[in-house]
């Protein structure tokens, strides 16, 4: 009779998105507790913002007829100018005046370029607030850790994001369409692909919120609700001694440097929606 053999110890369930990092409601087809989870990283599905597909259905159909990415990019920028009256802010309700003219320049392009210069600036606050509203993922860092929605640091961050949206021309709706177009292009240029392997240069893994260490090189971390990565490993090496690499679901990519000509100064930069991720740390 064979001796009893201990059954293998079952693997514990993957960490979910902590309750303190999410909102109960959002404006897309999956709740934050799912789209921010490790399970979603492993098994992603498309994320759709409420109403955007219907509102811009004619524009999306027009994209289908264009084969060249450059033509689609031109159509996108033309559609943004026409739909949001970006060239005629007075027609959108902005009254003349020096202050009003400066707010009229607060477009989706200024936001993403501002992010590239300083993700902890006013533009970064607006973008992180947009992620909170649309995906229900709370910001974890903005110029320093954000210790809960009742903290002074979080209140300052909210105030900065609110000032960034004041007297602008449907700025959050512009971001909705930017995300939708980025998702269209990713699907069009990478048919059948579910993930991209992206990289960040780091000096210490404990600078991130580590939920679990799997082994010497593998960790499960909670990222900020919006983060910069690069598609080029050599580029990531410029920002730290080690390389953090992660398989990012395509629906978590908000925008990237190749989406529109001259959109971002960073080479091969990807701006990624956060949540729980499994990552690997490797030396360059």
Helix ranges, the chain (H): 32-35, 38-42, 52-55, 57-64, 69-83, 98-104, 108-117, 122-135, 152-165, 171-189, 233-236
Neighbours of 4 (CB within 10 A): 6
Neighbours of 83 (CB within 10 A): 15
Residue 160 in this model has a pLDDT that exceeds 90: yes
Q: pLDDT value at position 168?
A: 86
As a whole number, mean pLDDT of residues 147-160 equals 92
Q: Express as a percent the part of the chain with pLDDT over 90.
A: 74
- What is the tens place of the pLDDT at every residue in 118-144? 999 999 999 999 999 999 999 999 999
Q: Express as a percent the part of the chain with pLDDT over 70.
A: 88
Q: Using DSSP, state whether 201 is helix, strand or coil.
A: strand
* Structure-token pair, residue 273: 């929606």
Q: Are strands 209-213 and 218-230 parallel, antiparallel or unpaired?
A: antiparallel
CA 60 to chain centre: 21
CA 76 to chain centre: 19
Q: How many CA atoms lie within 13 A of 2 on its CB side?
A: 3
244, 230 Cβ separation under 8 angstroms: no
Residue 252 in this model has a pLDDT that exceeds 90: yes
Q: pLDDT value at position 109?
A: 93
Q: Are strands 269-283 and 253-256 parallel, antiparallel or unpaired?
A: antiparallel
* Structure-token pair, residue 97: 């005046």
């Amino acid at each position: 009779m064979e001796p009893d053999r201990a059954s293998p110890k079952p693997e514990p369930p993957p960490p979910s998105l902590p309750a303190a990092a999410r909102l109960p409601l959002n404006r897309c087809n999956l709740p934050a507790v799912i789209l921010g989870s490790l399970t979603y990283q492993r098994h992603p599905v498309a994320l759709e913002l409420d109403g955007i597909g219907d509102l811009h259905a004619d524009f999306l159909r027009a994209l289908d007829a264009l084969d060249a990415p450059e033509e689609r990019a031109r159509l996108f920028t033309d559609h943004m100018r026409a739909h949001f009256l970006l060239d005629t802010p007075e027609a959108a309700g902005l009254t003349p005046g020096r202050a009003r003219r400066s707010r009229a320049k607060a477009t989706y392009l200024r936001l993403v370029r501002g992010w590239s210069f300083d993700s902890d600036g006013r533009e970064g606050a607006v973008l992180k607030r947009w992620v909170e509203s649309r995906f229900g993922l709370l910001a974890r860092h903005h110029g320093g850790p954000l210790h809960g929605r009742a903290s002074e640091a979080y209140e300052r961050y909210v105030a900065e994001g609110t000032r960034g949206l004041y007297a602008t021309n449907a700025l959050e709706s512009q971001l909705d369409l930017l995300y939708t177009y980025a998702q269209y292009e990713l699907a069009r240029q990478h048919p059948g692909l579910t993930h991209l392997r992206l990289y960040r240069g780091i000096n210490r893994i404990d600078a991130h919120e580590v939920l679990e260490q799997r082994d010497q090189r593998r960790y499960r971390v909670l990222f900020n609700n919006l983060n910069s990565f690069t598609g080029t490993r050599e580029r990531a090496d410029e920002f730290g001694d080690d390389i953090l690499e992660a398989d990012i679901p395509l629906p978590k990519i908000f925008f990237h440097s190749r989406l529109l000509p001259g959109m971002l100064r960073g080479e091969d930069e990807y701006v990624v929606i956060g949540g729980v991720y499994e990552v690997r740390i490797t030396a360059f």
